[in-house]
């Protein structure tokens, strides 16, 4: 697992303050509350590598991934891209804890033209209420799919919008990002290829970490870009915990 340890000596002094806030003799009892307040604010720029720092994220359910994401989890809102060489590499398994928490909040999950049939028994097994899952059929035109994605992102009732769109222009991505911000919604785009200059604030890549001697179960998840992280980090996760 790669972390930011080799990086810390060259860091600005702020980061050390965060890490050793409890032990610092100059900080009294009350400072921990202030600290917590500061750490839970995603809008505050701290001028340091945020990987595994702060508390403003929503836990992914995978400890290794939390450790390399800014705010220790998924962002509350915005757009993210998940890049896999094929569909079905465990990208949905990665999101299942998130879906569960969104359904528990009473919000809806909208699947916009998924490439295969969404299979309800698996959702039930994962603890997701299928009454709060909606799907837009596969053969919807790209224009309509994007329209529904934008509208869904703007709606406060939708907590998560999943869409399978391989290539989208920067302009469209920015528009979706704006829509997600107005609706406090998380939008996920699944893609096959990474585009370097994508404006999405979070880009993940899932790859197989298969080698003859490694265990079968782990996949390599790379955080290519995350708002707050200084560089891309990767970790190995067992995505199929139940299977």
Partner 1 sequence: MKDPDSEAQIPLPCIAPDSGAQIIQLPARPKNLAKAWPSKTATNEANAKPIAKRSRSKNLWYALYFPQLRELDSTQQKKYLDQLAGHMQSVSSTVSLHPQALICEIRSSLKYFSGIDFIHQKLQRPIEKQLQQWNLADDFFYAASPTVSGSLLLAKSGKNVLVYRQENLRSALGQLSADVLDLNKEQRRRLLNMGIRHLRDIWRLPSDGLRKRFGSNFVNQLNTALGIAAEPTHNYIPPPTFVASYDLPYEIENLDRLLPIADELLAQLCDFLRRRDLSTSSLLLSLFHEKRDSTVINIGLRMASRSQQHLTLLLETHFGRLSIPAPIVAIKIEVRKFDAFFAKSESFLENEASNSTHYNDSNLNQFMERLQARLGENYVKSVSNATQHCPEYASLQLDYKENPNQGSPAAISTEVSANPRPLWLLQEPKQLNINKGRLFYRKPITIVSGPERIETHWWSGIDVCRDYYVAREHSGSRLWIYRERNGKRNWFLHGFFA
**Could you list the residues that contact partner 1 (CB under 8 A)?**
85-93, 105-108, 114-126, 130-137, 140, 144, 147-148, 151-152, 155-158, 206-210, 216, 219, 240, 242-243
The residue among 1 and 243 lying less far from partner 1, judged by its C-beta, is 243
Residues 166/192, Cβ–Cβ less than 8 Å: yes
Residues 191/81, Cβ–Cβ less than 8 Å: yes
Could you give the C-alpha distances from 170 to 85, 128, 176, 177, in angstroms and in order? 21, 33, 10, 10
The residue among 68 and 152 lying less far from partner 1, judged by its C-beta, is 152
Q: How near is the Cβ of 210 to partner 1 at its closest, in Å? A: 6
The residue among 14 and 87 lying less far from partner 1, judged by its C-beta, is 87
Q: How near is the Cβ of 235 to partner 1 at its closest, in Å? A: 15
Residues 75/204, Cβ–Cβ less than 8 Å: no
Cα four-point dihedral sign 172, 178, 182, 186: positive
C-alpha torsion 59→60→63→68, nearest 10: -90
The residue among 39 and 132 lying less far from partner 1, judged by its C-beta, is 132
The residue among 99 and 233 lying less far from partner 1, judged by its C-beta, is 99
Cα four-point dihedral sign 105, 110, 111, 117: positive
Q: How near is the Cβ of 185 to partner 1 at its closest, in Å? A: 12
Q: How near is the Cβ of 125 to partner 1 at its closest, in Å? A: 5
Q: How near is the Cβ of 80 to partner 1 at its closest, in Å? A: 17
Q: C-alpha angle with apex 203: 198 to 209, nearest 5 degrees?
A: 130
């Amino acid at each position: 697992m790669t972390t930011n340890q080799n990086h810390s000596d060259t860091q600005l002094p702020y980061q050390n303050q965060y890490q050793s806030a409890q032990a610092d003799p100059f900080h009294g009892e009350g400072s921990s509350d202030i600290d917590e307040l500061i750490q839970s604010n995603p809008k505050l720029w701290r001028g340091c590598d945020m990987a595994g720092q702060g508390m403003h994220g929503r836990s992914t359910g995978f400890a290794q991934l939390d450790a390399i994401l800014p705010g220790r989890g998924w962002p509350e809102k915005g757009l993210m891209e998940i890049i896999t060489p094929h569909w079905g590499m465990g990208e949905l398994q990665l999101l299942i804890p998130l879906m569960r928490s969104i359904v528990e909040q009473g919000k809806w999950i909208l699947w916009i033209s998924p490439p295969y049939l969404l299979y309800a028994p698996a959702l039930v097994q994962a603890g997701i209420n299928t009454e709060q899952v909606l799907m837009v059929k596969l053969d919807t035109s790209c224009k309509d799919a994007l329209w529904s994605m934008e509208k869904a992102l703007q709606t406060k009732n939708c907590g998560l919008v999943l869409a399978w769109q391989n290539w989208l222009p920067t302009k469209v991505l920015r528009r979706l990002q704006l829509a997600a911000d107005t609706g406090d919604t998380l939008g996920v785009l699944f893609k096959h290829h990474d585009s370097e200059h994508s404006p999405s604030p979070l880009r993940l890549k899932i790859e197989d970490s298969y080698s003859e001697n490694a265990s079968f179960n782990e996949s390599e998840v790379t955080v290519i870009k995350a708002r707050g992280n200084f560089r891309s980090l990767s970790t190995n996760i067992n995505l199929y915990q139940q299977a």
